[in-house]
Amino acid sequence: MGKVRVAAFSISADGFGAGPDQDLDHPLGVRGRDMFQWAFATKTFRTMFGEEGGSTGVDEGYAARSMAGMGAWLMGRNMFGPIRGEWPDDVWKGWWGDEPPYHCPVFVLTHHARAPIEMKGGTVFNFVTSGIDEALSLARAAAGERDIRIGGGVSTIRQYLAAGAIDEVHLAVSPVVLGRGEALFAGLDLPALGYAVTEQAQGEQAMHIVLTKQEQ
């Protein structure tokens, strides 16, 4: 069985994992893109979006590692898009165009049912209304021996951390302060949940920290 991982998740120096006021013009919230400049510069992420070049240093090493070995993804509805409430129609299919970068089954947590969406490149968005445990069970079945990546957003990661269901968390701490947004760790006692820092490295544009769940 593979690991359940959070990988290449950017946070600000003041602990926010997303900026405020997400909308079509600000998928990551206002100033949220500022936290991801390290990723946008890497060869892995530039290749993912059909661009050439990119950095090949420490940041690239973590970016490449974040995409390796994935058999399924989990994400919250806010990460999938800005629409709230009942789905008005089937037009919205995510932020990523006709061929999203996942290339495997993706399970989207939502309170409102919707039929699966098959995209180019092997990505299939599945909408799960029965909670985080059922979504993780479905992801495990789909991933087999490969890893499951919890992509976000902040609320989804917090729920799985609180449940002790994540094996490894890779954070890229960006040298920006947002002041407002969604705080990733507010109210969570990470040591009590079994998490400890097991790796750190200074990249070109971010500090990389890996938290691993310890045996208890």
In this prediction, residue 68 carries a pLDDT of: 93
DSSP conformation letters of 128-160: E-S-HHHHHHHHHHHHTTSEEEEEE-HHHHHHH
Name the residue type at position 134.
Answer: E
In this prediction, residue 170 carries a pLDDT of: 98
pTM more than 0.85: yes
In this prediction, residue 216 carries a pLDDT of: 64
pLDDT digits (tens, 9 = 90+) for 122-158: 999 999 999 999 999 999 999 999 999 999 899 999 9
| CA geometry: angle 205, 50, 62, nearest 5 deg | 35
Q: Which of 105, 81, 79 is nearest to 92 (CA)?
A: 81
CATH of domain 4-85+99-213: 3.40.430.10
Query: pLDDT below 70 — which residues of the chain?
Result: 216
In this prediction, residue 50 carries a pLDDT of: 83
* Cis status, amide bond into 15, omega within 30 of 0: no
What's the token pair of residue 100?
């999203």
Domain residue spans of the chain? 4-85+99-213
In this prediction, residue 29 carries a pLDDT of: 86
* Distance of alpha carbon 84 from alpha carbon 186, whole angstroms: 24
DSSP code of residue 15:
S
